[in-house]
Amino acid sequence: MENPGAGRFAPSPSGELHFGNLRTALLAWLFARSTGRRFLLRVEDLDRVRARAEESQLRDLAAVDVTWDGEVVRQSERGELYTAALDRLVADGRTFECFCTRRDIAEAASAAHGPVPLYPGTCRELSEEERQEHLRERPAALRFRSGGGTERFTDAVAGDHEGPVDDVVLRRNDGAVAYNLAVVVDDAAQGIDQVVRGDDLLPSTPTQLRLGRVLGFAPPSYAHVPLVLGPTGKRLAKRDGAVTLTDLAAEGLTAGAVRDALLRSLALPEGPLEQALAAFDPARLPREPWVFTGTLG
């Protein structure tokens, strides 16, 4: 049988999902299922200190009918894959050690220009002597020697997009693998060829595309979907009131009613997802964020 490809939802288990996250998950499910793909769930729990919400997240996804294929994958169990990719990048000269603190970068970046603060290049060409000197003070983080410039791609929702490629951190100076490396390695290793996620991640995509290319991976297709915004116009958050299924249940709203409100916001038929699936057309999705004004529906 031909490989049908796969889509995914990849939450960070740092807290209960709110209905903005659930809406993105629904969209990822619809994109995958409407194209005959498998749909995978990956828990991005590299930051273990904050990884406490997996159970509630899986429960809430299932409650709004977002079902997945196979076992849930956890990044915390995949260290060897990331190390192998990192070793290849190091061997190919595609990394460099960086000793900058956040403050160093903020100061250097504020002196630079451009809307996205990129790594200012401070440690890109250190001499061996400078390196030894820094190492006496703190361990190094490992950054991507990206080559800079831009990458261009066509997004199923955001359209043609071109953005700068950054020398992002691949391994933090405490040894932890960074998100940008893990996401690229996992999508390739899991056979994910369709990435649907919130449009807050659009600026990371050119760098992730470049990193995937350097590692020899085929690029996935992308759909960056508009987020739900709270009443103040900022991305929806806990402070905006009853936003999780638990909060909403306390107000008398069932998970089915929340799912229906989300489907309505996408101009899709309510009820079990089969009907939404039959009506789903990416070209007709709202292109604007959905502003939550205090009541669902």
Which residues are at the interface with ligand GLU (CB under 6 A)?
Answer: 10-12, 44, 183, 197, 201
Give me the least distance between CB of 188 and ligand GLU, in Å please. 13
100 is in an annotated binding site: yes
Q: Find the helix packing angle between 79-91 and 179-189, rounded to 10°.
A: 100
Q: Which is nearer to ligand GLU, 44 or 199 (CB)?
A: 44
Query: Coil, strand or helix: which one is 105?
Result: helix
Check whether 44 is labelled as a binding-site residue. yes
Nearer Cβ to ligand GLU (122/190): 190
3-state SS track over 245-289: HHHHHHCCCCHHHHHHHHHHHCCCCCCCHHHHHHHCCHHHCCCCC
Report whether 118 contacts 109 (CB < 8 A).
yes
Residue 272 labelled as part of a binding site: no
Cβ 110 to ligand GLU, closest distance in Å?
26
CA distance 30 to 37: 10
Exposed/middle/buried for residue 146 (C-beta within 10 Å: 0-12, 13-18, 19+): buried
Residue nearer to ligand GLU on the CB measure, 201 or 255: 201
Q: Is 219 annotated as a binding residue?
A: no
Q: What is the chain's length?
A: 297
Q: Would you say 44 or 240 has its CB closer to ligand GLU?
A: 44
Minimum CB distance to ligand GLU, residue 107 (Å): 27
* CB nearer ligand GLU, residue 96 or residue 179: 179
Taking CA atoms, 244 is separated from 27, 90, 145, 236, 241, in Å, by 18, 42, 40, 11, 9
Residue 189 assigned to a binding site: no
Q: How far is the CB of 115 from ligand GLU (least distance, A)?
A: 20
Please, which residue, 37 or 197, has the CB nearer to ligand GLU?
A: 197
Determine the Cα–Cα distance for residues 32 and 40; give it in Å rounded to an integer.
Answer: 9
CB of 21 to ligand GLU, least distance (A): 8
Q: Is 33 annotated as a binding residue?
A: no
Q: Does 123 appear as a known binding residue?
A: yes
Distance CA 273, CA 23 (A): 13
136 in a known ligand binding site: no
Q: Which residue has the tokens 């009918």?
A: 65
Q: Are 140 and 96 in contact (CB under 8 A)?
A: no
Please state the closest distance from residue 281 (CB atom) to ligand GLU, in A: 22
Q: Which residues are annotated as a binding site for L-glutamate?
A: 8-12, 44, 179, 197
Q: Which residues are annotated as a binding site for Zn(2+)?
A: 98, 100, 119, 123
Q: Which residues are annotated as a binding site?
A: 8-12, 44, 98, 100, 119, 123, 179, 197, 238
Q: Which residues are annotated as a binding site for ATP?
A: 238
